[in-house]
Structure 1
């Protein structure tokens, strides 16, 4: 399963007020593992960044001079996210801005983003899991012990990377990955000990028959499933 964790930074709070996207950050996840593949760009919005927004992300008008406009990066962006499940914190905000940008380009197929991608809103998910609690990224990172010490301001790629790790922990994926690694290491250690004992004491090794091996694997599978739940 291919997922793309996505975040944007903008000139202000609402596209209805003429605000635009100034940064897009995307992190690819396949089968619940970070691939290292990202999409990241700054965008020239052809308007001033609101002072309030600038305090949040620190992106200035002068920094955005000479950056590409949305129509210049649109095709690469579409290619990266098309067909993926988008993981977004407070999805209506980012989706609204993305759809607005495609509306300005008159690209009807992308004016409703869910025609091209499914969307998973981690804020809505967190509110269901933790009703009545703060569920912004900082609060969730603290709750789930996800490191965000390097985050002094918002940034689209930085926040997407943090959200990717947070999503995997919130939905149980990291625990499974850690368990797999631990089991593999333990199995390797057991095999090493067995090999030393067999060599030292010259113990004859009697290999199980195929039926005996299958019966053992079936039994262990049932035991592991009982322990997991």
Structure 2
């Protein structure tokens, strides 16, 4: 199963108020293992970034001035996520912004849920830990995941961290490390299915001498206490 763990950063909180996506970060999972493939881009939003948003992610208007606009990256982004299950923390926020960006292009782009499955890891966390805080920092502490590099929000870093949190939260898989390039390899292993046509396992019977020794051992135990195994053997 192909999954894409995704995060975005934006100019503000409401696409209905004209806010735009300024960063997209994605990492790919295949059968619950990081493949090393990722998608990452900064985007010129063609508007100002709110000061309150800059305080969260540190991405300034000056930094974004020479970055591509969304229409220039839309097709590559769409090709990367198409057909995958997206794993997103607070999915309605990111999906809402993605759909808003596609709608602005007026080119017949589909809604995200028409081409991808969507799993909201925040909903999963709330079901698993009801009545508790379930933001990404809290989940990292809960599952023992190192997020010491996360001084500011960043789409690619947050996607990498969320991948580790998601694997730990959904399957007890916590031994996952990232290499210098930001890719990683999960420490869990796949279940190995045995073929129905395999040779039967040999059954080794106890020898007469082994049965005699076991009998003598049970007799010695019976001198001190009731021996349940002895009752079962004679039943």
| TM-score over 0.5 for the pair | yes
* Residue in structure 1 matched with residue 40 of structure 2 by the alignment: 40
| 2:201 corresponding residue in structure 1 | 215
Larger Rg: 2
Q: CA deviation at 1:178?
A: 4.5
Higher helix share: 1
> How far is the alpha carbon of 1:164 from its aligned partner?
0.6
State the 1:62 CA deviation: 0.2
Deviations 1:130-162 (A, max 9, x none): 111000000000001111011000000000000
Give 2:9's aligned residue. Answer: 9
Question: Could you tell me which residue of structure 2 aligns to residue 227 of structure 1?
Answer: none
- Mapped to 2, the partners of 1:161 and 1:216 lie a distance apart of 47
- How far apart are 1:179 and its partner, in Å? 5.9
The answer as to 2:47 corresponding to 1:57 is no
Q: Counterparts of 1:179 and 1:79 in 2: how far apart (Å)?
A: 29
With over 3 angstroms needed to count, the CA separation of the structure-2 counterparts of 1:143 and 1:75, relative to structure 1, is: same
**RMSD of the TM alignment (CA)?**
2.0
* Correspondence 1:163 to 2:149: no
Does the 8 Å CA contact 1:9/1:22 hold for their aligned counterparts?
A: yes
The answer as to whether partners of 1:109 and 1:115 remain within 8 angstroms in 2 is no
Name the CA shift for 1:31/1:60 in 2 (closer, same or farther; >3 Å).
Answer: same
Alpha-carbon distance in structure 2 between the residues aligned to 1:35 and 1:166 = 16
Structure-2 residue corresponding to 1:147: 146
Matched residue, 1:126: 125
Check conservation: 1:26, 1:38, Cα contact below 8 A: yes
For the residue of structure 1 that corresponds to 2:150, the secondary structure is coil
**TM-score, with length taken from structure 1:** 0.77
State whether residues 32 and 173 of structure 1, in contact with CA within 8 Å, keep that contact through their aligned partners in structure 2: no
Take 1:179 and 1:58, find their aligned partners in 2: how far apart are those partners? Answer: 35
Q: How many residues align?
A: 187
Q: Structure 1: which 5+ runs fail to align? A: 182-209, 218-229
Per the alignment, residue 184 of structure 1 pairs with none
The alpha-carbon deviation at position 173 of structure 1 amounts to: 5.4
8 A contact 1:15–1:100 mirrored in 2: yes
Task: Give the secondary-structure state (helix, strand or coil) at the position aligned to 1:80.
Answer: helix
Q: CA deviation at 1:170?
A: 0.5
| Structure 2 partner of 1:192 | none
Find the counterpart in structure 1 of residue 82 from structure 2. 82
Distance 1:68 1:178 in 2: 37
- Distance in 1, matches of 2:104 and 2:128, equals 37
Q: CA deviation at 1:174?
A: 1.6
Give the C-alpha shift of residue 108 in structure 1. Answer: 3.3
5+ residue gaps, structure 2 = 176-185, 191-196, 204-235
TM-score by length of structure 2 reads 0.75
